[in-house]
Amino acid sequence: MKKQKGSIAEQIAAFVLRAEWSKIPLQIVERLKLHLLDSLGCALGALEGVPVRRLRDQIEEFGGNPICTLIGGGKTAPDRAACFNTALTRYLDFMDNFLAEGETCHPSDNIGSILTAGEFADASGRDLLVALAVGYEVECRLTAGAPIMEKGFDHTTQLAYSIAASAGKLFGLNELQLGHALALPGVELNALAVTRAAPTTQWKGFASSNVAFDVMHLLFLARSGMTGPLNVFEGVKGFEEALGKKVKADWENDGYDHIAKCILKRFNAEVHAQSGLEGMIELRKQHAFDPADVKEIEVTIFHTAYDIIGGGKYGDRSKVSTKEEADHSLPFMIAVALLDGDVQPQQYEPERITRADVQALMQKVRAHPPIRIEKPKVLVEKIDPYSRKYPDEMPCKIEVKLRSDQKYQIEKTDYSGFYTRPWRWDEVTRKFRGLAQNVKGSQQDEIIQAVQNLENIRARDLMEPLGMM
């Protein structure tokens, strides 16, 4: 890679400012629209979540100039609108993902801030789509080129840069202002991955909304002239020193290749469970066995999945009593998929989580990687046939053993919604309508049409139906 000019923050700023509508391929625009509609479905489906209502109550209590729309109704100050709208898209844990080696992120975490910034700036729909492309690409490049979770940092650390980039683009910041807008959250918003470890708490679903709130605040400061360390990445005691490695990303490349690798979730579950859950449900349909006759369910899965949701480095996943514990517990999700034939928001209702059938069955689920010996991570992944294929595949094997000694087995390498089997409008619209059942059908239609026709309308034309509930 040839030497790039300026600090990394300045290189990102230059990349952002070069982005324009004419440079974004039509297939990338189409993917962004699909991910936007998917995320809005997640947002509308989260409106009645208890922690979400608490956040809304706090916004109501503290007030704020009614400038930007809150999804679900009402207006408030831009920082609080970005915070709340991000909480909505994130809370269900049903949103999109990008996968890198040992890493993941949720590029849709940018959407709440982009919608807010777009409305504030009275942006066009094309401006909004360019900002989405920028936000997705910046976060995905950093996730792939600066992996941080192995060091104990949370992926919302990289989200801070991508929100600053995409919202700063909509605010019309110049290159110097944008460089400082990247630097300010870069030195302040370095989150820890313990947020996603067991026992998992409600903060798992709100960490990104807090980043949105803080970044929006810092963006306005940068716009007014506040400066930050432009060498936030490569400077003394900067990002690279903390990480112990260089950031590998070519910011002179104006492509959007990473967006094509972003994926959607078929099931309301942590992303690394998706292929396993599809496999479990396919086994259930193929063989009419009674879950009560199950002796053991063995799940062989790649190391990243085992570490995060299977009982590996992120802690014990065999004890589940809350939504946040359940949607990050592979044993629970496999068990409830077998019992109910699906994993949707209703599988995380308190009475479903604590019911005796799923609590008993999940104790019969044994998750492990193919190679179960303690070796350095690099060596294990070289000899482990599953981990070696991740993130290009999500390989797993499900084997169900019955009391009668009958066995049923299935292997998966991907799932419907993975980039090898991408969803189109029919699938995304079906998911959107399923999640937005609390919204009138005519209003659902208006939101779908606004997203499909986004390049021909303005940001406020999308926010209006989202704020009329």
Q: What is the mean pLDDT of residues 54-70?
A: 96
pLDDT band at 283 (very low <50, low <70, confident <90, very high): very high
Structure confidence at residue 4 (pLDDT): 77
CATH code that applies to domain 8-261: 1.10.4100.10
Q: Are strands 407-412 and 396-402 parallel, antiparallel or unpaired?
A: antiparallel
Tell me the domain boundaries of the chain.
Answer: 8-261, 271-412
Q: What is the mean pLDDT of residues 62-88?
A: 97
Q: What is the mean pLDDT of residues 272-287?
A: 97
Structure confidence at residue 306 (pLDDT): 95
Q: What is the mean pLDDT of residues 108-127?
A: 98
Structure confidence at residue 385 (pLDDT): 87
The widest CA-to-CA distance across the chain, in whole angstroms, is 72
Q: Are 72 and 47 in contact (CB under 8 A)?
A: yes
Encode pLDDT of 129-166 as tens digits.
Answer: 999 999 999 999 999 999 999 899 999 999 999 999 99
Residue 322: name the closest of 289, 349, 299, 295 by CA.
Answer: 349
Q: What is the mean pLDDT of residues 277-291?
A: 96
Structure confidence at residue 376 (pLDDT): 53
Structure confidence at residue 200 (pLDDT): 96
CA distances (Å), 62 to each of 77, 78, 184, 219, 432, in order? 11, 14, 25, 21, 32
Structure confidence at residue 384 (pLDDT): 84
Residue 46: name the closest of 89, 81, 76 by CA.
Answer: 89
pLDDT band at 380 (very low <50, low <70, confident <90, very high): low
Encode pLDDT of 13-52 as tens digits.
Answer: 999 999 999 999 999 999 999 999 999 999 999 999 999 9
pLDDT at 197 over 80: yes
Domains 8-261 and 271-412 share a fold: no
DSSP character at residue 45: H
Structure confidence at residue 469 (pLDDT): 78
Structure confidence at residue 1 (pLDDT): 54
pLDDT band at 5 (very low <50, low <70, confident <90, very high): confident
In words, the CATH class of domain 271-412 is alpha beta
pLDDT band at 373 (very low <50, low <70, confident <90, very high): low
3-state secondary structure of 338: helix
pLDDT band at 209 (very low <50, low <70, confident <90, very high): very high
Residue 146: name the closest of 132, 134, 160 by CA.
Answer: 160
CB atoms under 10 Å from CB of 368, counted, come to: 15
